[in-house]
Amino acid sequence: MRQFSSCVFLFLALPATAQEADWQLISQSGNRDQVINWYVDASSIVRTDDYLRALLRTSWSVPQYGPDETAYQSTTYVNYFDCGKRMIAYTGNTYYENVEPIGVPVHEEPELPLTALQFQAVTPGSAGETRLDFVCKYRAKQIMT
């Protein structure tokens, strides 16, 4: 029994290294031939310098194809949000074969440092504006990295 108790204690003392994503559907568009869903991992939203940083996901109901004709149906990526200026920067795209971001990615692009990113103004009424509005409501909360 003592060995069992020690094992349980050690297991509970280990840090949680992989937090499960909290994907929140924030936008959907398309038609009967193709539906596009946009999600934010609400558990990933953190303050970084003067920006909010979050992991986002886009999924398609039908396969998309990259320049090399590799099929994918979802992608995850990092967004930085400048809530005051209403601007977004993207980096670190990872592409998956399935609608859910599981398994081995079919393509990955590295996450660039914040100083190398190009921020773009969001277009009113766009999916980008929807993402910005969702994430920036966390601005008032004390989210720190």
CB 75 within 8 A of CB 58: yes
CA triple 38-42-48, angle to 5 deg? 105
The mean pLDDT of 86-115, rounded to a whole number, is 95
Q: What is the pLDDT of residue 144?
A: 47
What's the predicted TM-score (pTM) here?
0.79
Mean pLDDT rounded to a whole number for the chain: 85
Please tell me the distance from the alpha carbon of residue 144 to that of residue 25, in angstroms, as a whole number. 24
State in words which class domain 19-136 has: mainly beta
The mean pLDDT of 82-86, rounded to a whole number, is 95
The mean pLDDT of 104-118, rounded to a whole number, is 94
Q: What is the pLDDT of residue 140?
A: 58
Confidence of residue 127 (pLDDT cuts 50, 70, 90): confident
